[in-house]
Amino acid sequence: MSELAHGTGSHLPAAEVPEMELPHPHGWWSTYVFSQDAKVIGIQYSFTALAIGSVALVLSWLMRLQLGFPGTFSFIDPQAYLQFITMHGMIMVVYLLTALFLGGFGNYLIPLMLGARDMVFPFVNMLSYWVYLLAVLVLVASFFVPGGPTGAGWTLYPPQAILSGTPGREWGIVLMLLSLCLFIVGFTMGGLNYVVTVLQARTRGMTLMRMPLTIWGIFTATVMALLAFPALFVGAVMMLLDRLLGTSFFMPTLVEMGQQLRYGGGSPILFQHLFWFFGHPEVYIVALPAFGIVSDLISTHARRNIFGYRMMVWAIVVIGALSFVVWAHHMYVSGMNPWFGFFFATTTLIIAIPTAIKVYNWLLTLWRGNIHLNTPMLFALGFIVTFVNGGLTGLFLGNVVVDVPLSDTMFVVAHFHMVMGVAPVMVIFGGIYHWYPKVTGRMLGETMGRIHFWITFLGAYAIFFPMHYLGLLGMPRRYHEIGETSFVPESAHDLNAFISVMALVVGAAQILFLFNLFWSLRRGREAGPNPWRATTLEWQTPETPPGHGNWGRELPVVYRWAYDYAVPGAADDFVPQNQKLPPPLHVARGEATA
């Protein structure tokens, strides 16, 4: 590989970024299965995440069937219901969103967007995927063990998580904790790769401030995840020991069914601190890549440079830092010193400032843009609207006095589904529609895409908007059946049935998406190297789909930032990052120079 030279012009100095040695695959297995190519690993991550995410989608159907039509489905007993919500939550947050954004988009896009040949540690990167797959398999295994998966709720709060009243106490919880530990180990391997690649393997001219915002989002989120996941790891290991060895890290002295348990002296609140020290940054670990990707989608499909690029970068960094000092706003009802609550409410509300800056900048990017309302753009717009909606209810819940009555109601469910369920998923879809042509060389079916968008978008609102009202009525979350109460009127039950029907419809629309993914693989329109006429480096590869090593003989050299759309005087409405000078208008038109 050493003969590979850098740069395009002879006037350029010798390579500053040393060429990396790529492991060359021999045969089918090392090309497609045990591949060390970040692009293949990214696709593997994405498929595994989508597969396990589909399981979680079906679980949400089952939950909604029970909530909308209580008593109709005899196989959904209270135990099963609790198991469904637990697995749905944990799979969606950790195994789908985190894995897809960082493992999927991160692996595919980081080397391509930075002009690198691959991740810096390809072997470790491969290992990261296989450990992730193992984590997923261990999690899936918990469906088949005696007692089934754990039903402790996705927060796994002790002591109930490992007491005998909770479903899955025997095996389910053990497998869940084990799977989380594996996931974290796997993620750490991948995460070190992403960070070091961003720091070290950028091509010439790619300064940090010329990186696309997608990379800024993924980079910052990865750093956060590397620092936040250890808290979950510690919590999971300690709870595992409580369950298996009978230690009492989190288990207080307990009497169960009139019997004194052997536990004593543990602190359940300690687990909550550890869990949410991970759990809140986790929200932004999912949100920051979404912020980044949506910025690129909007800029590309509105043909305008992103408004306030610097502010966008700073906001990402500030949000990342602030998200580490807000965790206890999940614990207002656990009882805490009022000053403590005041502190965490304040930091929580402060995060709204950089977040609002980002929203304004997206809007200003769209302002007077040449908006192409294609599927990626629709999903990007859907994200902005949904994220603002979910963010506004976050302001309610961030305040202690408002949170206390709303805690553990459907209002909370509606809030977090809007802000970190629907909104990031919108970006995932938008991102897949946007980059699918690069991955496969073919466009995703546009009509199917639009149908998919409108059903998903309107359906998600039909599901989660009314849920806020249910929450305000006081309808509790996590209940298998509400039954007869004085504060829940009959109409609320009708609303629940409506939500359930809509959930089935939205879920079914995802089948269309999966069909589109496979259908377009063969039948999609040929995309060409740069169908969106985008500026970033991944669209400038010599081959589509990009080959092993991404860049042919020479690495690209970057001459400009990632958002040169509609540059005045340029012939085209976009100037790729690796293009030295935009050809002036009259040259491009073939007119004679004066």
Partner 1 sequence: MTGTLLLFGGLVAVALWWLSRQGLATRPWLEAGPLDDGPVRPISIPAAKLGLWMFMAVAATLLVLLLSAYSMRMEMADWSPPPRPRLLWANTVVLLLASVALHRAVQAARRGRRDAVASALMLGGGAGLLFLLGQLLAWRELAGSGYLPANNPADAFFYLITTFHGLHLLGGLVALGRTGASLRQAPLARLQLSVELCASYWHFLLAAWILLFFTLAFSPPFDWLVALCATPFR
- One residue of 180, 414, 558, 570 binding partner 1 per CB under 8 A: 558
Element spanning 260, H or E: strand 259-260
What is the distance of C-alpha 406 from the center of its chain? 26
Determine the Cα–Cα distance for residues 532 and 487; give it in Å rounded to an integer.
53
Q: Which is nearer to partner 1, 125 or 550 (CB)?
A: 125
* Locus of tokens 């997923």: 136
At closest approach, how far in Å is the CB of 280 from partner 1? Answer: 14
Contacts of 323 (CB under 8 A, 6+ apart): 224, 280, 281, 283, 284, 351
* Residues in 106-145 at the binding interface with partner 1, rule: CB under 8 A: 120-121
Q: Which is nearer to partner 1, 12 or 501 (CB)?
A: 12
* Residues in 387-446 at the binding interface with partner 1, rule: CB under 8 A: none
For residue 7, state whether it binds partner 1 (rule: CB under 8 A): yes
- One residue of 61, 340, 396, 498 binding partner 1 per CB under 8 A: 340
Nearest to 330 by CA among 216, 465, 231, 463: 231
Q: Which is nearer to partner 1, 12 or 402 (CB)?
A: 12
Binding region for partner 1 (CB under 8 A) out of 13-21, 284-292, 452-460, 478-486 = 13-21
At closest approach, how far in Å is the CB of 175 from partner 1? Answer: 21
Under DSSP, is residue 236 helix (H, G, I), strand (E, B) or coil? helix
For residue 584, state whether it binds partner 1 (rule: CB under 8 A): no
- One residue of 33, 58, 208, 585 binding partner 1 per CB under 8 A: 208
Q: Which is nearer to partner 1, 66 or 347 (CB)?
A: 347
- One residue of 2, 3, 10, 13 binding partner 1 per CB under 8 A: 13
Q: Which residues pair with 476 in a beta bridge?
A: 409
For residue 247, state whether it binds partner 1 (rule: CB under 8 A): yes
At closest approach, how far in Å is the CB of 546 from partner 1? Answer: 21
Question: Cβ-count burial of 296 within 10 angstroms (0-12 exposed, 13-18 middle, 19+ buried)?
Answer: buried
Under DSSP, is residue 81 helix (H, G, I), strand (E, B) or coil? helix
How many other C-beta atoms can be found within 10 angstroms of the C-beta atom of residue 486?
A: 6
Q: Which is nearer to partner 1, 208 or 373 (CB)?
A: 208
Under DSSP, is residue 584 helix (H, G, I), strand (E, B) or coil? strand
Q: Which is nearer to partner 1, 249 or 464 (CB)?
A: 249
- One residue of 160, 163, 273, 474 binding partner 1 per CB under 8 A: 273
Determine the Cα–Cα distance for residues 57 and 321; give it in Å rounded to an integer.
32
Contacts of 259 (CB under 8 A, 6+ apart): none
Q: Which is nearer to partner 1, 132 or 411 (CB)?
A: 132
Binding region for partner 1 (CB under 8 A) out of 230-238, 402-410, 417-425, 452-460 = 230-238
For residue 237, state whether it binds partner 1 (rule: CB under 8 A): yes
At closest approach, how far in Å is the CB of 555 from partner 1? Answer: 11
Q: Which is nearer to partner 1, 65 or 221 (CB)?
A: 221
Three-point CA angle 92, 231, 220, nearest 5°: 70
Buried-state track 107-143, b at ≥16 Cβ within 10 A, e below 16: bbbbbbbbbbbbbbbbebbbbbbebbbbbbebbbebe
Q: Which is nearer to partner 1, 524 or 549 (CB)?
A: 549
At closest approach, how far in Å is the CB of 204 from partner 1? Answer: 5
Q: How many residues bind partner 1 (CB under 8 A)?
A: 67
At closest approach, how far in Å is the CB of 96 from partner 1? Answer: 23
At closest approach, how far in Å is the CB of 275 from partner 1? Answer: 12
Tokens describing residue 210 = 């010329």
Q: Please say whether the dihedral angle defined by the alpha carbons of residues 207, 212, 213 and 216, taken in this order, is positive or negative.
A: negative
Contact 532, 98 (CB under 8 A): no
Determine the Cα–Cα distance for residues 529 and 525; give it in Å rounded to an integer.
13
Query: Cα(first)–Cα(last) distance of the chain, in Å?
Result: 46
Determine the Cα–Cα distance for residues 437 and 555; give it in Å rounded to an integer.
22
From residue 225, give the alpha-carbon distance in Å to each of 103, 166, 247, 266.
12, 30, 28, 27
Determine the Cα–Cα distance for residues 154 and 246; give it in Å rounded to an integer.
22
At closest approach, how far in Å is the CB of 453 from partner 1? Answer: 31
At closest approach, how far in Å is the CB of 304 from partner 1? Answer: 12
* Residues in 518-557 at the binding interface with partner 1, rule: CB under 8 A: 557
What mask of x and - would describe binding to partner 1 in positions 209 to 228, judged by CB under 8 A?
Answer: xx------------x--xx-
- One residue of 164, 207, 260, 346 binding partner 1 per CB under 8 A: 207
Binding region for partner 1 (CB under 8 A) out of 31-39, 86-94, 140-148, 273-281 = 273-281
At closest approach, how far in Å is the CB of 512 from partner 1? Answer: 40
Determine the Cα–Cα distance for residues 227 and 108; give it in Å rounded to an integer.
23
Question: Cβ-count burial of 592 within 10 angstroms (0-12 exposed, 13-18 middle, 19+ buried)?
Answer: exposed
* Locus of tokens 């994405």: 46
At closest approach, how far in Å is the CB of 173 from partner 1? Answer: 18
- One residue of 254, 317, 402, 512 binding partner 1 per CB under 8 A: 317
At closest approach, how far in Å is the CB of 252 from partner 1? Answer: 10
For residue 334, state whether it binds partner 1 (rule: CB under 8 A): no
Element spanning 197, H or E: helix 172-200
For residue 200, state whether it binds partner 1 (rule: CB under 8 A): yes
Under DSSP, is residue 6 helix (H, G, I), strand (E, B) or coil? strand
For residue 303, state whether it binds partner 1 (rule: CB under 8 A): no
For residue 157, state whether it binds partner 1 (rule: CB under 8 A): no
Determine the Cα–Cα distance for residues 399 and 417; give it in Å rounded to an integer.
19
Determine the Cα–Cα distance for residues 450 and 443; give it in Å rounded to an integer.
13
Determine the Cα–Cα distance for residues 373 and 444; give it in Å rounded to an integer.
15
Residues in contact with partner 1 by CB under 8 A are 7, 12-13, 16-17, 120-121, 188, 192-193, 195-196, 199-202, 204-205, 207-210, 223, 226-227, 230-231, 233-234, 237-238, 241, 245-249, 262, 264-267, 270, 273-274, 277, 305, 309-310, 313-314, 317, 321, 324, 337, 339-340, 343, 557-561, 563-564, 580-581
